[in-house]
C-alpha cells in the first residue's frame, strides 16, 4: 500500500518524524501493512474495555530498588542529540520538507 504525500505530511506533523528517505517511507509502509491486519479481527460481541486492568480492584506498586546506577555518561552516548544531560526527543524537532520535495521523493520510492 502506497502512502500519499498528504498522509505523509500529516503523519510527519503529528509525530515530528522525518520520513524523507527511502528507509523511513519503507518502515512506515510496513507499519501500516502490519496494522491493517487488525481489520481482519472479528470483534463482534466484544464489549470495549476502559482499561486492560479493569478487572482489578487495586494495583500494587513495587518498591523501586536501584540495582545499577551512576551510568549517565554511558546512557547519553546513545543519544542522537542531547542538551546538557538530557535526551532531545524527538531529535531536533526536525524541519519538515516542503510539499514539492516530498512529491519528488515519493515518486522514486
Cβ-count burial of 24 within 10 angstroms (0-12 exposed, 13-18 middle, 19+ buried)? middle
Domain that residue 25 falls in? 1-41
According to DSSP, the β-strands at 86-87 and 82-83 are antiparallel
Within a domain: 37: yes
Which stretches of the chain drop beneath a pLDDT of 70?
1, 52, 54-56, 59, 90-109
Within a domain: 74: no
pLDDT in tens, 13-27: 787 777 777 777 888
Question: Is the entire prediction scored with pTM above 0.75?
Answer: no
Within a domain: 59: no
Cell of 105: 521523493
pLDDT in tens, 25-42: 888 888 888 989 988 999
Within a domain: 15: yes
- Return phi, psi of residue 48, to 5°: -65, 150
Total number of domains constituting the chain:
1
Q: What residues have CB less than 8 Å from 33, skipping those under 6 apart? A: 1
Within a domain: 21: yes
Within a domain: 58: no
Within a domain: 25: yes
Within a domain: 90: no
Amino acid at each position: 500500500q502506497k502512502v500519499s504525500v498528504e498522509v505523509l505530511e500529516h503523519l510527519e506533523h503529528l509525530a515530528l518524524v522525518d520520513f524523507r528517505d527511502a528507509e523511513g517511507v519503507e518502515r512506515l509502509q510496513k507499519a501500516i501493512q502490519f496494522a491493517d491486519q487488525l481489520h481482519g479481527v472479528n470483534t463482534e460481541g466484544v464489549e470495549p474495555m476502559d482499561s486492560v486492568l479493569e478487572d482489578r480492584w487495586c494495583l500494587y506498586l513495587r518498591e523501586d530498588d536501584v540495582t545499577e546506577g551512576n551510568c549517565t555518561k554511558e546512557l547519553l552516548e546513545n543519544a542522537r542529540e542531547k542538551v546538557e544531560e538530557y535526551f532531545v526527543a524527538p531529535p531536533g524537532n526536525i524541519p519538515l520538507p516542503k510539499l514539492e520535495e516530498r512529491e519528488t521523493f515519493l515518486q522514486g520510492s
